[in-house]
Chains A and B, each alone.
Chain A
Amino acid sequence: MSGYRLKPIPPGDDVEFEFGGRTLTGHRGEPLAAALLASGIRVVARSFKYHRPRGIVGYGRHEPNAHVGTAKGNALATILRVEDGLKAWPLNCWPSVDFDFGALADRFGALLPAGFYYKTFMGPGGRFWPIFEPMIQRMAGIGKLPTDPAPLRVEKRYAHCETLIVGGGIAGQQAARDAAKAGGRVWLIDDGDVPEISGVTVLRDTLVIARHEGGLFVAVERNPNAAFEARTWKIRAARAILATGTVERPMIFRDNDRPGVMLLSAVRRYARDHGVAAGKSVVVFTNNDSGHRHARELTEMGIAVPAVIDLRDGEAVVAALGCPVRGARIAKLDGSGTRDIACDVIAMAGGFTPLVHLHSHAGGKLRYARDFAAFLPDGSHDGAETRIDLPQDHLLARWEAPDTGGKAFVDFGADVTAADVRLAAREGYDGVELLKRYTTLGMAPDQGRLSNMNALDILAREKGVTPDLVGTTTFRPPFVPTEFAALAEPTGKLLKPSRTTTLTAWHERAGAVMYESGANWRRPGYYPQNGENLDAACARECFAVRNAVGVYDSSPLGKFEVIGQDAGAFLDFVYATRLSDLAPGRGRYALQLHEDGRLFDDGIVFRLSPERYFVTTTTGNADACLQRFEYCRQVLRPDLRVHIVPVTEQWADIVVCGPQARDALAKAGIAPPRDLGFMGMAEIELFRRRCLIARAGFTGELSFEILLPNSAAPALWDRMIAAGAVPVGSEANHVLRIEKGFISVGHEGDGIAGPDDLGLGFAVHAAKPDFVGKAALLRDRTDTSPRPQLVGLLARDPDFVLPEGAAILRADAARGRGYVTASCRSGALGRSLAMGLLEDGRALMGQTVSVSLPGGDAGAIVVKPAFYDVSGGRQRV
């Protein structure tokens, strides 16, 4: 036994808890670390890399070692509160914390220097890393993912205030009182307990984990109410005061990671706040006045302090003896005068490092304060002022004891020694960011709060410069490791918004396999029947469209009404295609280009009346099209009198397609106007609502597109199904459009291909005075370098479906000359088909190219990109 209670637990406040299978007693509400210290449990974890036994070092958030497992995931023993039924266990050890196979790493520590992974596993060729990585992960990994499927219940909330004070210490409380007098909403946040302050909203047990630009703070509150275990706040503050305090700096000496070596401030807090003595006999090792001051406090509380070793006196603790600690070896700085003092705690007091993280998160600069050997905020930043008082303790800027061999740790969490830092500097990794990545210094969950300054000091000495010339690494949110559940919506449906049509419920009832598709839509991919697989269901759906009738939910299609006397002129400007000469009741396939003349989007534009157009865009680009339309209207052509109304959400779009489409419509009681020709649109009344019916579609068959208000869509869909139309998903759609050689912006519109490359020159009316992309298009025509051109591809093996995205190599060229853009198995043609973009592809008709594949290239013949009903007669019937 080592630690003990300075006073007994008041009756009724004692609770039983379990740690690593042992039943122990603690004081209700105290940190687990206090209860473990009081119970004489000294080894609480194994370290990350060397699996050395580790004990509690710090207090609160700044503990590097004592990560413990719980049913809800990992927690810090210094944060986790003791309560009835608490069950926790040590991490990083197998089979137990006292005997751990991984500790072999410590014996062979000389074989694991800084940059070990890079030197050993990641050499040229990199063949070994994939083999070793999972093993290393298992050895090093900190704990296991919780198996409990119920995530942390977290409430999210936004708040606003005029003044936010972070940190409820003396400085923070005073700032809050002052701010309350000045008026406005004042909030005070502290991760512990704070008294009520009149006129101030106080959040207790809440940690600010980030500060962002514009005064946005993110804070996580623990146990805010009965319904939630945590509450994540996003607080926008006009002004902020960061009274975040300091953390004590450790000393560097041999075996300074042994259980029993602690920060003096932590020893003092456990004694003062929880009545727990961390040991029976505490040797203090310091380089400034605070070591003496706090040692006296320990003595006053009844804890024995046999010696305060002060570097300023030319003496140092050169080694911790025993594991856990049972003594300290003392020596003069020249190595003489060695003596051993029996103790069970060595308390390190290396001065105080200000917690400037929040100042730095949003980009605040730091300056080096030589008196305190610390980086301090260089003035206030973006409305946030840091208030941290550092005591004038006459600090000697030295933390390291003379080297007596063994391991002297700089970073306990990441298992980085002083020798590692020196080695990295000698090998040329002597910038702070390089040092961090090479040694993993500061990458442990405590993010180097205890280690960074000591590492910078060693690095500066190696380089022969002062620490301010070395600088610090970047402070990034979050301030402490934070559960994903506190940051993201935890459950499946809310994780990412998904959009449904009014027919989605029908698709799901019909057993459709739903796909996540463009613009957040959830769409049917195919409707398997009687255990069909994808290929079988897709083939059946395609067959129905080619030979009978299919019905397709095209509601996600981008839809706009363009209204006004200059609607035609506006569309002529936005589209490369002329649309001002469309007759009312007619539609035209039209292209939008990027400024650089490449294809941006396509769709069919209908004219309803002289001043009213109905525009369709691709689903994925609907939002981008609206932005572009409005940009053109508001910025480029404010002279045009036109309104652009997005109506994607108003109209459902049901496509009835196939040779029997007209019969199916008749059966469903729908009679399209007799004179409705191909690419025509007319108004009809369905279910007493104004609807639109058009002769258009992407399948190349007789096709009616019915646009109707969303609430009427399920009734029409049911009628079409009752009339025998087969529901068709996006897989079949893909096949049907490849058979026709129709491009799809998502496949062939790759940002490089222009309209001519894609065989769409017919839709560009260059005689118009101006349109977006025209200048670039004209310049392109003077460029003679080869262009990627749309081609059809027939694999030599008709049963082989070329993979989409595969590179196409020309026989005369070793490097890639193009790629497969779309590929499928076609039932109508009884073979595989593909399209691709190939340099000078039109000049290569009939020639063989090879498609590069991992298992060996496949031959394919270049053909025109149209396979089925090449004359287009079927859609015009």
Chain B
Amino acid sequence: MSEVLTLVLGAKPGAGAIPVAPDQWLIAGKAPDGTLSIDVSDAYQAFEVKENILTQGIALDFAKLPADFAGRTRLGEIGVLLSRDGDTWILRCERSYAEWVETWLRTRPGGI
């Protein structure tokens, strides 16, 4: 899926922002007014994934994650961003790894 993504520099811009560095937050959508931010819409590829698929490659204890979890973790050998949207999870990888992640998802039964 393609989307508008903005990296906000400085303080957390609000709920749902994914921390990617101590001073950096990734949000879906355009930059909120009055923030220092840059467009990173082309830097990530997003996938909607079910938890049952994620537990095949991500070591997090999903049962213990908060309902609004959003953060960086690892899928197999690569770093990814993970955030919760109701019952589904949004997995975002750096664009250069999208082909690898897509292959990984396709080879899990029910993955894509």
Contact = CB atoms under 8 A, between A and B. Distances in A.
Contacts of B15: none
Contacts of B58: 158
A701 B8 CA distance: 38
Interface string B1-30: 010000101100000000001111000000
Interface residues of A, number: 39
B40 A494 contact: no
Interface stretch (A103-111, A173-181, A643-651, A788-796): A643-651
A158 B73 CA distance: 14
A653 interface: no
Contacts of A157: 55-56
Given A497-B76, A501-B96, A643 B9 contact: yes
Contacts of A491: 107
Given A561-B38, A563-B9, A649 B55 contact: no
In the complex, which of the residues A157, A159, A497, A498 has the most CB atoms of chain B within 10 Å of its own CB atom? A497
Interface string B74-112: 001110000000000000001111111001100111000
B32 interface: no
A227 B23 contact: no
B61 interface: yes
B59 A499 contact: no
Interface string A477-517: 00000000000010101101111111010000000000000
Contacts of B22: 634
Contacts of A709: 39, 41-42
Given A634-B22, A709-B42, A160 B77 contact: no
Nearest to B52: A157
Contact of B36 (A504, A643, A711): A643
B100 A643 contact: no
B43 interface: yes
Contact of A493 (B36, B57, B98, B100): B100
Contact of A649 (B44, B61, B104): B44
Nearest to B100: A497
Contacts of B95: 502, 649, 710
Nearest to B98: A500
A643 B22 CA distance: 10
Contacts of A630: 21
A498 B100 contact: yes
B55 A159 contact: yes
Contacts of A504: 99
A236 interface: yes
A460 to B, nearest CB: 43
A493 B103 contact: yes
A494 B107 contact: yes
A647 B77 contact: no
A649 B56 CA distance: 26
Nearest to B103: A493
B109 A521 contact: no
Contacts of A227: 109
B57 A156 contact: yes
A650 B40 contact: yes
Contacts of A644: 21
A155 interface: yes
A499 B93 CA distance: 11
A234 interface: yes
Nearest to A612: B38
Interface string A551-569: 0000010000101000000
A185 B61 CA distance: 12
B96 A499 contact: yes
Interface in A290-317: none
A558 to B, nearest CB: 12
In the complex, which of the residues A234, A556, A710 has the most CB atoms of chain B within 10 Å of its own CB atom? A710
B38 A649 contact: no
Nearest to A225: B109
B104 A494 contact: yes
A647 B55 contact: no
Contact of B103 (A494, A645, A649): A494
B58 to A, nearest CB: 7
B78 to A, nearest CB: 5
A683 to B, nearest CB: 13
Given A227-B109, A649-B44, A643 B23 contact: yes
Given A496-B77, A497-B78, A645-B7, A650 B99 contact: no
A499 B41 CA distance: 18
A744 B42 CA distance: 29
Contacts of B94: 499, 649
Nearest to A489: B76
Contacts of A489: 76
Nearest to B21: A630
B100 to A, nearest CB: 5
B61 A497 contact: no
Interface in A637-674: 643-645, 647-651
A704 B35 CA distance: 33
A497 B23 CA distance: 28
Interface in A609-644: 630, 634, 643-644
A563 B56 contact: no
Interface of A: 155-160, 185, 227, 234, 236, 489, 491, 493-494, 496-502, 504, 521, 556, 561, 563, 630, 634, 643-645, 647-651, 709-711
12 contacts: A158-B58, A236-B61, A494-B100, A498-B100, A502-B95, A645-B24, A645-B38, A647-B40, A649-B42, A650-B42, A709-B41, A711-B41
Given A494-B103, A497-B100, A498-B100, 15 more contacts: A155-B108, A157-B55, A158-B58, A185-B63, A236-B59, A493-B100, A497-B76, A497-B77, A504-B99, A521-B96, A645-B38, A648-B96, A649-B40, A650-B41, A711-B2
Nearest 5 interchain pairs by C-beta: A499-B96, A649-B43, A710-B42, A650-B43, A160-B61
Interface of B: 2, 7, 9-10, 21-24, 36, 38-44, 55-61, 63-64, 76-78, 94-100, 103-104, 107-109
